[in-house]
Amino acid sequence: MMPKLRILGLLLLGLTISFPAYAQKPQGYAVIASIQGNAEVKPKGAAWSSAKGGMSVGQGDIIRTRGDSWVVFDIYEGEKRLASVEVRQFSELKLTLLKPDKSILLDLALGEAMIKAERLNGGKAKFEVKTPTSFIEVVGKATFSVTVDKLE
């Protein structure tokens, strides 16, 4: 009976020690910092829902805004903020890749986004924005705006 209790105790200790590792945020993640007007989020594989301040958004999620609306979300690695992205009115943006050690890739299908990016991985990784007509890649600290007009 005693060896079984010892084994059970060791298992419980192992689970207790390893549990915080499971509770950590993924390598790259984003949180909606502020919102105005009518904006929605479509998580990967789910339906559209209203965007809310403090809401987490992740890789594969899409954010869209309507008239007189905007969303600002911050991209993090752990507790460190790596970028701030403002999605302006009548826009649709997908968080395609959130791997700060390699690349952050946003896909702007329509509208306008203002990006303030910090150096990723000590300048070894890149921040990229894809549109239907162009591809922008930044290495290092940068502030830039990308606009996609409605295609005819």
CB 100 within 8 A of CB 120: yes
Domain that holds residue 74: 2-148
Rounded Cα distance between 58 and 22, Å, is: 17
Taking only the tens place, the pLDDT of each residue in 60-96 is 999 999 999 999 999 998 898 999 999 999 999 999 9
CB 70 within 8 A of CB 87: yes
Q: What is the pTM of this model?
A: 0.80
Query: Which one has a higher pLDDT value, 61 or 15?
Result: 61
Local confidence band at 22 (pLDDT 50, 70, 90 cut-offs): very low
pLDDT value at residue 21: 42
DSSP 55-105: -EE-TT-EEEE-TT-EEEEEEEETTEEEEEEEE-SS-EEEEEEEETTTEEE
Structure token pair of residue 56: 């987490």
Q: Of all helices (H) and strands (E), which one includes residue 11?
A: helix 2-23
Instruction: Please report, as a single letter, which amino acid is at residue 83.
Output: A
Q: Of all helices (H) and strands (E), which one includes residue 50?
A: strand 49-50
Q: How many domains does the chain have?
A: 1
Residue 152: other Cβ atoms inside 10 A:
3
Taking only the tens place, the pLDDT of each residue in 100-150 is 888 999 999 999 999 999 888 777 888 999 999 999 999 888 999 999 997
Q: What's 115's domain CATH number?
A: 2.60.120
3-state secondary structure of 109: strand
